[in-house]
Amino acid sequence: MSFYVLMNNSMNFFKKIKRTLIFTACVVITVIIFLIILKINITIPEFIDLLHDFGEPPPILTKIIIYTYQYWVILPIFALITSIYIIVSKEVFSKNYRPLWFLLSLLLIAIILIILTVVGMYAPIIGLE
């Protein structure tokens, strides 16, 4: 076996490993985003009932979260579409692969939304306004 054939085989092997890792990352990130939004959509209606029992109007952040949380379902849909595009695409090995960065930014947005939800929902209970 020549050195060229050996290097070619090892490069193909590393490309397969990289593709598998990207596929796994896409699936994991999409599932995490889906679970975050699902948990938010289950939790917020319970907080709405709790806030109605207080009788006081909630702070502005809480109102924004209550009125907009139903539209956050778009995030997992975008993540799923982006993941499918990344998995099907042939350009995964380029250095500036934008769909992968878009998927990571969706994950960051979902994490920020969960932090804002926790702060916004607990603000009236703790007394923050």
Give 93-129 pLDDT, tens digit per residue.
666 678 888 888 999 999 999 999 988 888 877 776 5
Mean pLDDT of 25-30: 91
Say how far residue 107 (Cα) sits from the centre of its chain.
Answer: 3
- Note the pLDDT tens digit of each residue in 84-96: 888 887 776 666 6
Token pair in block for residue 33: 């985003």
Q: Rounded distance, CA 16 to CA 6, Å?
A: 16
Q: How many helices (H) and strands (E) does the chain have?
A: 4, 0
Which single residue is written with the structure tokens 């090892």? 10
Sign of CA dihedral 84, 89, 92, 94: negative
